[in-house]
Structure 1
């Protein structure tokens, strides 16, 4: 199906056709959209991810200004559809026979602008896009944008930074993950902790377990419990116990130090 002449409203209408109000209510709860929760204010119409992907296939060539309109929608599934269109477009431009660096750069910059204006603003949106787009674009380039995003206090920008490094890990490069991780150890927000531990675990699984254990030998005492649990998930029980004890001892030292001031 050609998407010439189609726009963001057509994508929204296609999503509405496969929406379900029961799923919408469940998704509102699952993604913590209540007051004070991480997804506060997010709106769902009730479209499952497989159905969203089928809609995206129909609108894969949607013009970028129309994708931008999807990303600016208050509806979560609209933003997800826009991001999945970008991922498809970026991966097509990255193919061996279809490589187009000008197009790849345009999409990467377009995506980064969306991140900076707060449109990639829930964990599934980040996880579906960051490693594929920025992780692909920055692999053989200066990685300053990763550290800039990691230095931002915004939860989603930090998660984009961490998940971008997954694109590097998949290609055997753990360096940026290991440089970024110590800078985020003090961020005890659950979704940062989980992403941090997940990326460290992947370093051990996909690149080199010794790189993970060397990192943990130095930083386990300063890590949050969630990040450490995720990072050590695939280590043997004795190693997991040792790192938990290191963390407990480190927490005890910090508590005594604060109490003595």
Structure 2
């Protein structure tokens, strides 16, 4: 397994961009006390990481688990994209295995892009016709990334005109102290509002006075200028 992991890392290293290698640590806030503290970047852009992932999507879970333990951000992302690519081609049994494995690895899905590029396509897809209990377990976690997985996974449900969990999780996490979560909740409310504006306005009428400013601003981005002013002034 270690040999295969090293082989995949070497394939990623062939795409290293020195400019990106210098820029990404700043973009993903890797400084002391920041949300991505200690994360390290090879300097590989997502499309190239996805190319490698597609080539190796049939590797055993053990290889993906090994990649997820890597100090390199792109190795962890590659493992997650391998899961996403395999999920698309799997039957129900295979999808359950991928979903179950993903939930055992969430502590390594530890930056916002890793969440956003995987949770909707594994967690959200799997739960479309199933109990949403795991979303609330993740939302109750003390781990920021578990909480983000729960919220961002609902974008898949929103795209299927299923809004109840977005609303419930938004209520549950309304006063979250971390800006990344405030943005995530606001983003999901905005996406819901694209499909059901009246439902978004009802939520805002009830909660806009309590919502953190960042969450509110994200949620109202697609409203009219007059509506945005109204809710910001509240």
Query: Which range, TM-score by smaller chain?
Result: over 0.9
- Give the count of matched residue pairs: 234
Q: Which residue of 1 aligns with 2:157?
A: 168
Aligned equivalents of 1:216, 1:17: Cα separation in 2:
48
Which of 100, 106, 120 is 1:131 aligned to?
Answer: 120
Q: Which residue of 2 aligns with 1:107?
A: 98
Gaps of 5+ in 1: 1-5, 94-99, 247-261
Moved more, 17-26 or 155-164: 17-26
SS of 1:73's partner is coil
Task: Say what the alpha-carbon RMSD is for the aligned residues.
Answer: 1.5
Q: Which residue of 2 aligns with 1:212?
A: 200
Aligned equivalents of 1:186, 1:11: Cα separation in 2:
41
Matches within 5 A, 1:1-261: 7-93=4-90, 100-115=91-106, 118-205=107-194, 207-246=195-234
* Bigger Cα Rg: 1
Question: Cα distance, 1:20 vs. partner?
Answer: 2.6
Aligned equivalents of 1:161, 1:197: Cα separation in 2:
14
SS of 1:18's partner is coil
Aligned equivalents of 1:130, 1:160: Cα separation in 2:
6
Gaps of 5+ in 2: none
Q: TM (normalized to structure 1)?
A: 0.87
Question: Cα distance, 1:44 vs. partner?
Answer: 0.5
Aligned equivalents of 1:13, 1:138: Cα separation in 2:
35
Q: Deviations over 1:78-115 (max 9, x none)?
A: 0000000000111111xxxxxx1110100001001111
Q: TM (normalized to structure 2)?
A: 0.97
